[in-house]
Structure 1
């Protein structure tokens, strides 16, 4: 009896000493810890944007965010969808590899940087919307749906009339939690894809490489009905850990929109520095 009481006392003590800011994750892995960070909200406030920065520390199995409700909410994936779109293009043979040439037809494309012949990797890095619209049309509705189910990439809504724009407008939605789940499966080679596809998408995602870390990621920006929403998703590879991130932000009324392209990455990098990952 004494041993039983001692055991129960230890359990109660461990519960009473737990961090009050921590709670079990009800998105993705049920065992992960969620920890609210006011510092991340301060980063967004000082940048005059609203939204959520969601970070996942793989070693600690802990999610950090300023707003977990925002992180559970769904948004248009915008150009972050170029990640699964690229994987499906490679798996179906629509694109052979990241050096496949995508020719410009000479028509205006909205941005000068898109108005040239681009290899697939550059089309990804320059976020060439017309290039990827062509890729999606070649993949087609049935194969796109089949592969999205195979990859467990949720929330996409489309048919033959919207196959080349459903990630930019319409009812498609993905949450920051789901973005991180997908990125984790890419990083740990857990997707049901060819080894060559796994290697290629990781090479395409790589943005910066230094002695002590590698930064991989993709930005996105949707503007449906003049509602601006921006993404920066990816992962930071350290010597002994990997930090995944999914930042989703929207401008405040006083925000200068010319800064929006840089703000998505800037607030994420600041968050990684704030938590001493960089």
Structure 2
């Protein structure tokens, strides 16, 4: 009887300890929700402190919901293109065929670096079609980028529509493995990804990332994922937002980055 009681106490202690340990890894930040409220959007800011191994967010439940990756998929798509030699480097040229495109900035010849920065969907659809269904699935399994649903019928749109999904924790896990050289890809590919995902730098930090926007059943879902390197700190981030009844729809695409920068400023 005594042995049974001791075992029960031991099990409870272990469970409590594990629970406490998991709680220390996730810190709720009300200030992040204030940033969301002031921008009139719904969603979650998720920031990971690499040195402290801590996650910060205003809404951890939202951060665990899978969403279409939209143009954040240009990160793994670029990796796969480089690893399969579909593109050679960040200066590989994509010629415009003269047809009208959704955005004027896409209506020109673009090198990979600019296609990534301008989020040129037709350029990356060309890449996906050249990679092909088989190699795309093989590399996605290797890279472990969310749960992508790739078939021959949706090869050039699966990241924009359909059943593919990734959550904010998975986005950060993928980026962390990329930055820490854990994806088992070439150093050359890693260097190209650093170049094309670079956004800005100043005396305090270097910022890398990619935005994404999907529209499903008339509903907008916006991403901004990436990482920021400072002198003694590295933060990874994945922001996912949706408009509400008070959102300025014209400003919505800009809010993804603005909200994230405000949250990172709070962390610094």
Q: Alignment partner for residue 119 of structure 1, among 97, 105, 111?
A: 111
2:146 — aligned with what? 154
Q: Alignment partner for residue 93 of structure 1, among 63, 85, 89?
A: 85
1:163-217 alpha-carbon deviations (Å, 9 max, x no partner): 0000000000000000000110111111111110011111111100222210000
1:135 — aligned with what? 127
Q: Alignment partner for residue 159 of structure 2, among 150, 159, 167?
A: 167
Other structure's SS at 2:251 match: helix
Q: Alignment partner for residue 243 of structure 2, among 226, 251, 256?
A: 251
Q: CA 1:181–1:233 in structure 2 vs 1: closer, same or farther (change >3 Å)?
A: same
Q: Which runs of 5+ in 2 are unaligned?
A: 1-12
Other structure's SS at 2:27 match: strand
Kept in 2: contact 1:23–1:34 (CA 8 A): no
Q: What TM-score, normalized by structure 2, do the two folds share? A: 0.91
Kept in 1: contact 2:198–2:209 (CA 8 A): yes
1:5-54 alpha-carbon deviations (Å, 9 max, x no partner): xxxxxxx9xx99xxx9x7616xxxxxx71000111011001100000000
Other structure's SS at 1:157 match: coil
Which runs of structure 2 are paired with 1:41-56 in the superposition (5 Å)? 41-56=33-48
**Could you list the runs of 4 or more consecutive aligned residues of structure 1 that deviate by over 4 angstroms after TM superposition?**
none
Other structure's SS at 2:77 match: helix
CA distance in 2, matches of 1:170, 1:189: 30
2:174 — aligned with what? 182
CA distance in 2, matches of 1:145, 1:154: 12
1:4 — aligned with what? none
CA distance in 2, matches of 1:205, 1:23: 34
CA distance in 2, matches of 1:128, 1:170: 20
Tell me whether 171-180 or 202-211 shows the greater mean CA deviation.
Answer: 202-211
Other structure's SS at 2:207 match: strand
Shift of 1:223: 0.5
1:24 partnered with 2:22: yes
Kept in 1: contact 2:86–2:131 (CA 8 A): yes
Other structure's SS at 2:51 match: coil
Q: How many residues align?
A: 253
Other structure's SS at 2:175 match: helix
1:251-272 alpha-carbon deviations (Å, 9 max, x no partner): 0112111101110000000111
1:35 partnered with 2:27: yes
1:48-87 alpha-carbon deviations (Å, 9 max, x no partner): 0000000001111100000001011100000000000000
1:93-145 alpha-carbon deviations (Å, 9 max, x no partner): 00010000100000111100000000000000000001001100000000000
Which runs of structure 2 are paired with 1:191-210 in the superposition (5 Å)? 191-210=183-202
